[in-house]
Amino acid sequence: MKCLYCKGEMEKENTTYTIDREGYHLFIEDVPAYVCKQCGEKHFPEEEVEKIQRLIQRLEEDLSEVRS
């Protein structure tokens, strides 16, 4: 797989997914992704993105309960 940004080679490995949202910072370790060996760009497979989106949705629902 080629990197969309620098055209370097991407290799599958586990990496950290991070997101900054209003009110929290989320770090998920050991997420499967393709990582460019040249520039470090990460590409997460669709199945992993769907899992992360479900996790974030549950987290935000729980946070709204805590904040109310």
Residue whose structure tokens are 């490995």 = 13
* The pLDDT of residue 50: 97
* Residue 4 domain-assigned (yes or no): no
Give the CATH number for residue 17: 3.10.20.860
Mind listing the pLDDT tens digit for each residue in 12-57?
999 999 999 888 899 999 999 999 999 999 999 999 999 999 999 9
Q: Are 37 and 44 in contact (CB under 8 A)?
A: no
Domain hosting residue 18, numbered range: 10-67
* Residue 63 domain-assigned (yes or no): yes
Query: For the chain, what is the domain count?
Result: 1
Q: Are 17 and 27 in contact (CB under 8 A)?
A: yes
* The pLDDT of residue 38: 97
* Residue 61 domain-assigned (yes or no): yes
* The pLDDT of residue 36: 98
Q: Considering the entire predicted model, what is its pTM?
A: 0.81
pLDDT surpasses 90 at 63: no
* Residue 3 domain-assigned (yes or no): no
Residue whose structure tokens are 């370097």 = 8
Question: ∠ at Cα 54 (48, 55), nearest 5°?
Answer: 90
